[in-house]
Chains A and B, each alone.
Chain A
Amino acid sequence: MEMDRISSLPNDVTEKILSCLPLRDAVRTSVLSSKWRYKSAMLQDLEFDECSWRTSQYREYDDDDYQIHKTFVNMIDHVLLLHLVPIRKFKLACTADEVATRDIDRWMTHLSRNSIKELIIKLWLDHQYNIPFSVFSCQGLVHLELLDCLLKPPSTFKGFKSLKSLRLLHVDMAQDVFENLIRCSPLLERLTLLSCDGVTSLKIDAPNLQYLHVLGEFDVVNLDSASSITEAEIWMGIGNDEIGVPASWIPACSSSNLLMIFDHLPHIRRLKINRRFLEYLSLGALPEKLTNPCQHLKALSVDICFDDPDAIPTALCILRSSPALQELEIEVDPTEKLPRIHSIVEEVNSPCVNDNYNCTFSQLRLVKITEISGVKAELDFIRFLLLSSPVLERMTVTPRRFPEPSYVDGVPKLVKELLQFKRESKHAEIILLDP
């Protein structure tokens, strides 16, 4: 037999190896030798995934979901009971019904007594899990991630003093619960908030926040107290029963949403403006330039609806105020602002080419434009970018899969002319050294 090279590896290395394994495999190593007996019981990070468990149990319990869930629960109880060290990270992905919640409550109580640092709970099924009070007492929490839960903290909850990273998907909570949670977690650096019902106003009080990713139907966006943000992705939508721009979006007269947001993003480096957020920004008195240029903005991604006459000036205002911009990504938003009559669309003013915008993007190297239909407004914008980008290295243009019938004639001609497409290729790559 070969010399044993693995058992003498330092403990933290064997722990790393074991943590790459599914828990069953890791626990099984306890019978290898006396040196290995307790290694798996000293893992600091535990991950329990009911899907993987189900796959591993398939032979014994083919169809019985309930039985499998029971064995899954038993296994977790077993592991927690025999564990020899405090658990630093606990990840749970499982089904949740009326009965299951009692099990999860029990595990949360156990973890809350053992200084847990990272907690990830991803649930699915019909019953939305109400996060128990024990979780709110975990003051050592550094990372919290929840999927499909209900957040209703006790009135005594004073925030998570150590929380640096928070990720909430489909988590229902009241507006004041949300604001309180953020405001009272002073170390918060990363916040992800996707489709969380109840949060109608995106007002964030987080002076240390660096990364923000949100998706929802918000009445208002207020980043006044979040000026350290360096990376943001904001997707704003409107409710299904809304017809036009929500009244709450319109700023007080003589103020501009664009300025109100960007005045508080002095450190922004990467920004994604998705869905209707550009529309939100375009409301109010649109300036030509931002009061404070985005000195550090390196990468910008924008969803632009070329049908909307306010979209391009808003985008241009940002572009003009971003001297350090290196990467630009534009996704054409096919939502129709104007009626889809070919001639009317053609007549939409393309301000960038018609007016004399003295604009040079001195650092812009990479441009990516997707979902184009070949509309004049789009092509004008592309032409403008090409003329204003002296160090452009690559422009990638991707047309929509199924361009509208009315544009089918226009597209091949204009596009070939302007962009020197390769024939029949869906993705065109242009490398320009100089306009």
Chain B
Amino acid sequence: MSTSTDNNASITQESGPSAAVQDIQKKIVVRTADGEVFNLKEEVAMEIDIIKTFFQEDSISYETVMPLPNVEGWEMVKVIEYCTKHVELKHKVDGYKERKAFQALFVQNLSTKSLLALTNTANYLEVKYLLDFLCQAVSEQIKNKDVDYVRELFGVENDFNDEEYEQVKAEAPWAHENLNNDLH
């Protein structure tokens, strides 16, 4: 039986086909943009739609290493972590609390920059439930915050001049009034 280290970010030597075949459990191998190679358990890999389509649609052999040029190594680690947990919880009857606790930890040390990058990656890799969760997490960061805070948090540059800005604001005055004190 494969050990759990295979699913962590172990930088393995580029595993040739013989190594993959020797494993009892089917493994799928991907290579991220920075050259890192990951061995995924088949059931976890199949959670990632882009991988699933790649191998299933054209019946490509699992010996092929799938390139993921748009994904960084650290992002792959996180995605694998989330999908592995998701698969584990699928079989549990009452996984709600455990899922919530896991989700809180998952985003705990992520900077906004990383969170956004990971959101983009989840979208690219087509993992719907991860994307939904990350979008929710991003929205939590800007809920009830004023415009300046949001701009700074996401690095959005204001390309309106003063006149335009006031005009846009006037299109929906009710959205800018009566903000709670929960501003910063």
Contact = CB atoms under 8 A, between A and B. Distances in A.
Interface in A330-366: 366
B155 interface: yes
Nearest to A79: B172
B163 interface: no
B40 interface: no
B144 interface: yes
Contact of A13 (B131, B156, B171): B131
Contacts of B145: 25
A82 B159 contact: no
A9 B178 CA distance: 30
Contact of B154 (A5, A16, A56, A74): A5
Interface stretch (A31-39, A250-258, A369-377): A31-39
Interface string B133-168: 001101110111111001110111111100001001
Contacts of A134: none
SS class of chain B's interface: helix, strand, loop or mixed?
helix
B178 A29 contact: no
A44 to B, nearest CB: 15
B119 A13 contact: yes
B139 A21 contact: yes
A78 B172 contact: yes
B113 A20 contact: no
A2 B145 CA distance: 18
B135 A28 contact: no
A33 B159 contact: yes
Interface residues on A, range: 35 or more
Interface in A28-71: 28-37, 56-57, 59-60, 71
B123 A10 contact: yes
Nearest to A22: B143
A125 interface: no
A34 B156 contact: no
B144 A25 contact: yes
A99 interface: no
A56 B143 contact: no
Interface of B: 93, 113, 116-117, 119-120, 123, 131-132, 135-136, 138-140, 142-147, 150-152, 154-160, 165, 168-169, 171-172, 174-178, 180
21 contacts: A1-B155, A4-B155, A4-B157, A5-B117, A9-B116, A12-B123, A13-B123, A17-B139, A18-B139, A20-B136, A21-B142, A22-B143, A25-B142, A28-B172, A30-B172, A31-B169, A32-B158, A33-B157, A33-B160, A74-B174, A82-B172
Given A9-B119, A33-B156, A74-B174, 8 more contacts: A6-B154, A6-B155, A28-B147, A29-B142, A30-B171, A56-B180, A71-B174, A78-B174
